[in-house]
């Protein structure tokens, strides 16, 4: 798979994720007051995207810009990231196995997991 294909696949997964989160009424409460820029980085390809959470919604999916001041970075192989955002694999298990890395405060880590838990479990 070329870098362009991988970028497209990740963008597609993130767009699906954005739609699911924004349609879920209970996530509004959870995301209240939690405005964050989340960078998603592939560690096996030169692909990185960003999710922007604003006013209890995923407002945008965009290319990550280098040097931007981010508070949350998620990192893993391309297949792991696509699987996580499409709900095929449990982020908790991947995190415990070291296959998914989350650079964030404890509170933000649990918040991310809560989103996954509510969407897919």
* Rounded least distance, CB 58 to other proteins, Å: 16
- What are the residues binding other proteins (CB under 8 A)? 26, 29-30, 32, 41, 43, 73, 75, 90, 92-93, 95-98, 101-103, 105-107, 109-111, 113-114, 117-118, 121
Structural contact between residues 106 and 72, judged by C-beta atoms closer than 8 angstroms: no
Residue with tokens 């989340």: 38
Q: Give the nearer residue to other proteins in terms of CB position, either 8 or 44.
A: 44
**3-state SS class at 45:** coil
Q: How far is the CB of 121 from other proteins (least distance, A)?
A: 5
Contact predicate 111/34, CB 8 Å: yes
């Amino acid at each position: 798979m070329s870098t362009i294909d991988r970028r497209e696949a990740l963008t597609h997964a993130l767009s699906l994720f954005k739609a699911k989160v924004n349609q879920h009424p209970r996530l509004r409460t959870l995301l209240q007051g939690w405005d964050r820029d989340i960078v998603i980085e592939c560690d096996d390809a030169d692909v990185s995207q960003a999710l922007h959470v604003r006013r209890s919604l995923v407002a945008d999916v965009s290319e990550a810009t280098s040097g931007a001041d981010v508070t949350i970075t998620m990192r893993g192989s391309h297949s792991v990231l696509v699987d996580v955002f499409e709900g095929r694999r449990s982020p908790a298990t991947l995190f415990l196995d070291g296959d998914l890395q989350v650079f964030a405060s404890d509170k933000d880590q649990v918040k991310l997991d809560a989103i996954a838990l509510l969407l897919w479990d």
